[in-house]
Amino acid sequence: MRPLPIANLLLLLLLVLTPGCKTVYSDHLIGEPIAAEDAEELEGIWRFGDSAMHVKHVEGGEYVAAVLEWDNGKFKTNTMDLVITRLGDAHFLQVTEASEDGDEKEGHEDPDDGEEPWIIAGLLTGLREDAVVLSAPEFDRIAEAIKAGVLEGEVDEDDNSLHIHGDKAALDGLIESGNLHELFHMQEPLVITRLGDL
Q: Which of residues 164 and 167 earns the better pLDDT score?
A: 164
What average pLDDT does this structure show over 29-49?
82
pLDDT for position 128 = 64
Given a cut of 90, is residue 174 above it in pLDDT?
Answer: yes
- pLDDT band at residue 11 under the 50/70/90 scheme: very low
The DSSP code for 113 is S
- pLDDT band at residue 129 under the 50/70/90 scheme: low
What average pLDDT does this structure show over 111-132?
75
pLDDT digits 0-9 by tens, 56-69: 989 888 988 888 87
Cβ atoms 58, 106 nearer than 8 A: yes
Residues in the chain: 198
pLDDT digits 0-9 by tens, 41-88: 778 898 877 778 888 989 888 988 888 878 889 888 888 898 989 999
| Rounded-to-integer distance, Cα 105 and Cα 66, Å | 9
- pLDDT band at residue 25 under the 50/70/90 scheme: very high
Given a cut of 70, is residue 33 above it in pLDDT?
Answer: yes
**Through-space distance between the first and last CA atoms of the chain, rounded to whole angstroms:** 23
pLDDT digits 0-9 by tens, 87-98: 998 999 998 876
Sequence-ordered list of residues with C-beta below 8 angstroms from that of 97, at least 6 positions apart, any chain: 13, 17, 80, 116, 119
* Residue among 131, 129, 128, 125 nearest 183 (CA): 125
Given a cut of 70, is residue 196 above it in pLDDT?
Answer: yes
pLDDT for position 98 = 64
Given a cut of 80, is residue 15 above it in pLDDT?
Answer: no
Given a cut of 60, is residue 151 above it in pLDDT?
Answer: yes
pLDDT for position 105 = 44
Give me the torsion for CA of 35, 37, 39, 45, rounded to 10°: 180
